[in-house]
């Protein structure tokens, strides 16, 4: 459930900042393609539980793949924050340019 909420927030934020649903629609379609490929290659969806559940991190110990996953998460999260800040700056600039054009037309 937290994954679905996070994805919904990303789609909503992207739609709000671009004032268009098209970028979120494209991102959702790409996610569906990857989900479908995962279903074809693994025989089950990513949300279905595996036959043998993996032990929890506090029951086992951290391993190399855990730390690699954490590192990749930090890099992707940082890139996403940078991208959304850039998108917000462009959206603000676009809105301010539209407002200035409206005032120029009135003179």
The dihedral through the CA atoms of 33, 37, 38, 44 has a sign that is positive
Q: What is the mean pLDDT of the chain?
A: 83
pLDDT at 30: 92
Yes or no: say if 21 and 15 are a contact pair by the CB < 8 Å rule.
yes
pLDDT digits (tens, 9 = 90+) for 84-101: 889 888 877 776 666 566
pLDDT at 79: 94
pTM of the full structure? 0.57
pLDDT digits (tens, 9 = 90+) for 29-79: 998 898 888 888 887 776 666 677 777 888 888 888 889 999 999 999 999
- Answer whether residue 107 shows pLDDT above 60: no
């Amino acid at each position: 459930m937290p994954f679905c909420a996070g994805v919904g927030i990303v789609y909503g934020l992207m739609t709000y900042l671009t004032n268009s649903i098209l970028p979120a629609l494209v991102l959702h379609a790409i996610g569906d393609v990857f989900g479908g490929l995962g279903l074809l290659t693994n025989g089950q969806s990513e949300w279905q539980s595996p036959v043998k559940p993996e032990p929890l991190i506090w029951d086992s110990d951290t391993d190399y793949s855990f730390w690699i996953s954490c590192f990749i998460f930090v890099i992707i999260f940082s890139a996403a924050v940078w991208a959304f800040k850039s998108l917000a700056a462009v959206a603000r600039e676009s809105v301010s340019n539209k407002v200035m054009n409206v005032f120029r037309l009135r003179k």
